[in-house]
Amino acid sequence: LGAAFALLFASLMYGIDPSVVLSVMNKGKGTLSEIMELESIINTPLTIIASLTAFHYIKTAQTWAAHVVFTQVFRFFVLVLAGLFVGGVLAFFLITILKKGSMGEFSYLSLITVMILAYVVAEVVGGSGVLAVSAFGVVFGRSHLKHKIELEKYASILSTSIRVLAFILAGSVLFVKSQYVIKGTLLFLAYLLVRFVSVVFSLSKQRLSLRERLFMTANVPKGLDVAVVLLILMSSNLAGGENMTAVINLSMLFILYSVALSVVVTAIFGGKKKQAVI
């Protein structure tokens, strides 16, 4: 199971959430901001799916035998597909209603209500509530509504509030043990080195300066999706195990380092003089 725990940790640390940094930069449009926005849209659902896949395998690995493999695989597909289906259907349902006419202030209430409903329904039918909400956000975000700007402002405020509450909750129940600080620090430095190499090679055809490549390398804040998955891991019956404890501690340390580094990098590279470039 060691490889599965390593995959779980890698899946969690893969994703980044530059939305906070881009909002500080007034969402300046340009090559760099467009690349980072696209990266965020792609890797957020992949982070959730990959991490939940690894976690599901770890939970059921002890019971995997030839006669139950099909059952476990079926349950996994139900977990993923039911979550995606419920979130997508409810988002489409809400979009259809809002397109027929403005509901005034009830539009904001309907948005949060349907999101909560998507999570609850997905969990009830055996799917993933986290994936359902993610699918809801993706479908709703790609829609075209007359009053979408107002709804996006409300959703942004709501998202920020939930993000703050999630990180406060995660910080109150998750504590980084001292024995993981040195290992976590070295891993984070190695992570930054690998990301820099990846940025250089994957964007070799883009005319990006060294400053911009360093900005993309260091701007790696972990988002709400990672915090939520960590809380799920913490509440599982595997939380007391040695491997799961290491994953939780190292992930929490990565969150602290990544957010702190992103704030510093944004302050240095995200000034008014650089917004037009970034």
pLDDT digits (tens, 9 = 90+) for 9-41: 988 888 777 555 555 454 444 567 677 777 776
| Amino acid 73: pLDDT | 65
**Which residue's structure tokens are 């969990």?**
123
| Amino acid 275: pLDDT | 39
Nearest C-alpha neighbor of 118 from the set 150, 80, 89:
89
| Amino acid 186: pLDDT | 93
Q: Higher-confidence residue: 38 or 250?
A: 250
In the structure, what pLDDT confidence band is assigned to residue 149 with cuts at 50, 70 and 90? low
Residues 101-110 have a mean pLDDT of: 70
pLDDT digits (tens, 9 = 90+) for 261-271: 887 887 776 55
In the structure, what pLDDT confidence band is assigned to residue 187 with cuts at 50, 70 and 90? very high
Question: CA–CA separation, 267 vs 262, rounded Å?
Answer: 8
In the structure, what pLDDT confidence band is assigned to residue 278 with cuts at 50, 70 and 90? very low
C-beta contacts of 256-264 below 8 A and 24+ residues apart: 256/176, 257/184, 257/185, 257/188, 258/16, 258/188, 258/220, 258/221, 258/222, 259/221, 259/222, 261/218, 261/219, 261/220, 262/18, 262/20, 262/21, 262/218, 262/219, 262/220, 262/221, 264/218
Structure tokens of 195? 């990301």
∠ CA 162-166-167 to the nearest 5 degrees? 120
With 80 as the cut, is the pLDDT of residue 276 above it? no
Taking phi first (over 0 means left), then psi (-120 to 50 degrees means alpha), and beta for anything else, what does residue 126 get? left
- For the four alpha carbons of 56, 58, 63 and 65, in that order, the dihedral sign comes to positive
Is residue 119 packed enough to be buried (19+ CB in 10 Å), middle (13-18) or exposed (0-12)? Answer: buried
**Which residue's structure tokens are 């007359």?**
146
Residues 31-56 have a mean pLDDT of: 75
With 60 as the cut, is the pLDDT of residue 272 above it? no
| Amino acid 30: pLDDT | 59
Residues 164-169 have a mean pLDDT of: 70
| Amino acid 7: pLDDT | 87
* Three-class HEC string of 42-92: HHHHHHHHHHHHHHHHHHHHHHCCCCCHHHHHHHHHHHHHHHHHHHHHHHH
* Three-class HEC string of 108-166: HHHHHHHHHHHHHHHHHCCCCHHHHHHHHHHHHHCCCCCCHHHHHHHHHHHHHHHHHHH
